């Protein structure tokens, strides 16, 4: 029997878990009607509430459930990748425990997977998040599309069904690599399902502004060479200006327009050496990026 593995990172989701369990139970019955089994992998990412006890109680009632308790909060990305290492299904996905992404979408995703699609993406057509979150997300995905992948979904995605052939890449990627972007970057041709992201009903999101900024920097610096290119171009520009300035000082000296003894020598050497240092740093960064990107 084919199996789907669902990885659920949990962080302060005590209030939403009972509803999640109920909907996953109904989902499991419908998946069984399609001739498939369902494996649930919950990763408690250092929750300080009763989330872990809710998970244990649920496990005592159901089979095919794995619970992983992390020693502290490592973040949703790290929690997802820990869960990926325990996947045994023929396909798998990451599901948020706050229920903003409807679990029922998994049935449509499974239908596409059974048709032969290895990467099924649920892209947001609309989202009922706070205004500040929507504004930040708009900027985030704008830069992702401009600097990383111009075909990336305009409003982004978190839930995507992946075939097991993608599992080794997802489970062994770097710790700071944003998993949805990495899955898209792997190059598997996606098929899209549009949906409206629901409003959060239980608890308050722990996805703070600083965590969002950190995720943006991780995604931007992990997948784009543009920051390094900007530094290299800036170094080339500054070094060129330094060389030109130093050469001009030497000319001014021989023309007798610099009365201060030693000024030309000091400034010309400083301009030349500083420009050379910045240029070399840009070259080193280019080499470092090639070493980093060789995989």
pLDDT given at position 292:
64
Q: How far apart are CA 277 and CA 228, in angstroms?
A: 16
pLDDT given at position 77:
84
Q: Tokens standing for 132?
A: 């500040």
Using an 8 Å Cβ cutoff, are 122 and 105 in contact? yes
Identify the H or E element spanning 2.
strand 2-10
Greatest Cα pair distance, the chain, in angstroms, is 93
- The answer to whether the Cα torsion of 278, 282, 284, 288 is positive or negative is positive
Integer Rg of the chain from CA: 26
Count of C-beta atoms within a 10 Å radius of residue 239? 21
CA distances in angstroms from 197 to 49, 127, 190, 251, listed in the order given: 25, 4, 19, 67
pLDDT given at position 264:
66
Q: Using the structure block, give the residue that is written with the tokens 């396909």.
A: 91
Alpha helices in 115-161 (DSSP H): 131-147
Antiparallel, parallel or unpaired: β 91-94 and 65-69: unpaired
Q: One digit per residue, pLDDT tens: the chain, 295 residues? A: 899 999 999 999 998 999 999 999 999 999 999 899 999 999 999 998 899 999 999 998 887 899 999 999 888 888 999 999 999 999 999 999 988 889 999 999 999 999 999 999 998 887 666 677 777 778 888 888 887 788 888 888 889 999 999 999 998 876 567 788 888 888 899 999 998 887 766 666 666 667 777 777 777 777 777 777 777 777 778 777 777 877 787 787 778 777 776 776 777 677 777 777 877 887 787 777 767 665 5
């Amino acid at each position: 029997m084919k199996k789907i593995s669902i990885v659920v990172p949990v962080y302060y989701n005590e209030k939403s878990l009972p509803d999640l369990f109920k909907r996953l139970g109904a989902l499991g019955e419908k998946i069984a009607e399609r001739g498939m089994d369902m494996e649930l992998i919950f990763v408690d990412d250092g929750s300080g509430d009763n989330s872990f006890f809710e998970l244990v109680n649920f496990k005592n009632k159901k089979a095919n459930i794995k619970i992983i308790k992390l020693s502290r909060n490592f973040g949703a990305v790290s929690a997802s990748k820990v869960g990926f290492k325990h996947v045994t299904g023929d396909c798998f996905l990451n599901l948020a425990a706050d229920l903003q992404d409807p679990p029922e979408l998994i049935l449509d995703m499974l239908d596409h997977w059974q048709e032969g699609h290895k990467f099924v993406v649920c892209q947001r057509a609309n989202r009922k998040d706070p205004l500040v979150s929507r504004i930040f997300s708009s900027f985030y995905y704008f830069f992702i599309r401009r600097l990383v992948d111009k075909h990336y979904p305009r409003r982004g995605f978190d839930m995507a069904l992946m075939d097991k052939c993608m599992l080794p890449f997802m489970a062994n990627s770097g710790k700071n690599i944003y998993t949805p972007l990495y899955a898209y970057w792997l190059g598997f041709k996606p098929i899209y399902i549009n949906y409206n992201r629901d409003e959060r009903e239980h608890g308050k999101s722990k996805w703070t502004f600083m965590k969002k900024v950190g995720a943006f920097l991780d995604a931007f610096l992990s997948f784009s060479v543009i920051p390094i290119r900007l530094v290299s171009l800036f170094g080339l520009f500054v070094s060129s200006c330094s060389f030109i300035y130093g050469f001009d000082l030497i000319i001014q000296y021989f023309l007798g327009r610099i009365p201060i003894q030693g000024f030309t020598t000091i400034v010309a050497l400083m301009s030349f050496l500083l420009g050379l240092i910045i240029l070399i740093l840009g070259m080193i960064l280019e080499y470092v990026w090639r070493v980093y990107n060789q995989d």
